[in-house]
Amino acid sequence: MASDLRTLRDQLERREDEELSPYAARSRQAIRRRYEEKIDFGHRQNYAIDTDRILHSRAYTRYIDKTQVFYLIDHEHISHRVLHVQLVSKIARTIGRYLRLNEDLLEAIALGHDIGHPPFGHDGEAILSRLCQEHGIGPFLHSVQGVRFLDEIEKKGRGLNLSLQVLDGILCHDGEMHLERLAPDREKNFADFTREIELKQSDPGQNLKPMTLEGCVVRLADTISYIGRDLEDAILLKLIRRQDLPSLVQDRLGQTNGTIVYTLVTDLISNSMNKNYVCYSREVGEALRCLKEFNYRYIYQDSRIKAQTAKIESLCGALFCRFLQDVKQNRQDSPIWVDFLLNMEDRYFHNHQPAQMVRDFLASMTDAYFLRQSQELFFPRNIVVPFA
């Protein structure tokens, strides 16, 4: 039976050669840090295995309560990060189907691309980055942290042994950086990958290019996924009105998330067919840039959605200092030990300073867990003592 299934895998991989674009990544080309006999001789293809490993990781489970943009808002129809990554996956696979790319690789990168985000979205990332720099461990970047979770922290510090192509796509996704054309930087190995992590840590503005065309598609699909959805959330919260959109955006992209997504996907596919890069037309690229600038000015920087940011920053600083002391003093009843460090293998402790352990713990938190720890550590409830 196992040999029959392996024969079917061989047939699937031959079909990739026949049906995929010459620019697409083949499943057999996957590179891993550690050889696994069960992968080499099993029936499942490489990038499908990576997708399942990400889906079953603890880090993926925590997506369920991580903010996308709007945090501390009690509204069940506002996007959370778990929905965002699913939308990125769907959009990327739609584009990839028309460009004849590897849909398993697209899905794996898309589902893992935001796995390094801390609680409270990009504000939480900026707060944690300042704290990390104050403690001498460099800036915090969710793309780098995503690689850490999957490659160094999952499985008690052993990591998931994902393929280089998937990890590279996660590292290089940078959805906030505006791009209208993107080509892959194909010649990479794990030594190059390590150097790029170091380069990104030293210069967060560094524009890293994915090594696969699939990674390029996910990077652009990331923007397509959030740009119109954030607009709809902001309209729902009455931060803006639909008619406030610039006329250039309305004329070229549309007024609703559905129309914007359809226009961007259609234009990207039409301009990227049979090419070793992905790109928009000049007109659509210009409109997308205009929409990004509008969102940043009137949504992401709106003071009304940042009303609690100073409080979150204060609590994050207090948690960082508290957990740092708990690690240094080996307080094994502390949440950082009970919920994070206790089951780690020795290699994690050998490779991480105490401040880096705290960074990893804070980044792993969901919004709700962060608030619960803040409540329990700094705002204890009254103890009710019954009368004798």
Q: Report if residue 346 sits inside a domain.
A: yes
Is 386's pLDDT higher than 70?
Answer: no
Q: How confident is residue 382, by pLDDT bands cut at 50, 70 and 90?
A: low
Residue 19 domain flag: yes
Q: What is the pLDDT of residues 211-240, one digit of tens each?
A: 999 999 999 999 999 999 999 999 999 999
Q: Could you tell me the two tokens for 39?
A: 């992968």
- 189, 63: one domain: yes
pLDDT digits (tens, 9 = 90+) for 127-168: 999 999 999 999 999 999 999 999 999 999 999 999 999 999
Give the closest residue to 289 by CA, choosing from 258, 257, 253, 314.
253
Distance CA 240, CA 245 (A): 9
Mean pLDDT of the chain: 93
The verdict on 187 and 209 lying in the same domain is yes
Distance CA 149, CA 269 (A): 32
pLDDT band (50, 70, 90) for residue 80: confident
Between 378 and 69, residue with greater pLDDT: 378
Asked if residue 139 is part of any domain, the answer here is yes
Please report the pLDDT score of residue 64 as a whole number.
84
**Residues in CB range of 27: below 8 A, 6 or more apart:** 12, 13, 16, 45, 46, 47, 48, 102, 104, 105
Do residues 114 and 175 both lie within one domain? Answer: yes
- Looking at residue 302, its amino acid is D
Does some domain include residue 387? no
Query: What is the reported pLDDT for 174?
Result: 81
Of 306, 325, 346, at which residue does a domain stop?
Answer: 306
Answer whether residue 374 shows pLDDT above 70.
yes
Same domain? 91 vs 25: yes
> For residue 246, is it within any domain?
yes
Q: Comparing 306 with 332, which gets the higher pLDDT? A: 332
Q: Which of 306, 333, 360 is the C-terminal boundary of a domain?
A: 306
386 inside domain: no
The domain of 367 spans 310-378
Residue 88 lies inside a defined structural domain of this protein: yes
pLDDT band at 71 (very low <50, low <70, confident <90, very high): confident
Give domain status of residue 388, yes or no. Answer: no
Query: Do residue 26 and residue 120 come from a single domain?
Result: yes
Indicate the pTM of the whole model. 0.94
- Average pLDDT, stretch 361-388? 82
Top pLDDT among 381 and 19 is at: 19
Of 285, 306, 327, at which residue does a domain stop?
306
- The secondary structure of the chain in percent helix, strand, coil, rounded to multiples of 5, reads 65, 0, 35
Q: For the segment 47-59, what is each residue's pLDDT rounded down to a tens digit? A: 999 999 999 999 9
Q: Where do the DSSP E strands lie in the chain?
A: 181-182, 278-279
Indicate if 246 and 335 belong to the same structural domain. Answer: no
Quick one: 279 and 351 in the same domain?
no
Do 290 and 218 share a structural domain? yes
From CA 128, how far away is CA 133, in angstroms rounded? 9
Do 73 and 41 share a structural domain? yes
Give the CATH number of the domain where residue 205 resides. 1.10.3210.10
Co-location of 352 and 298 in the same domain: no
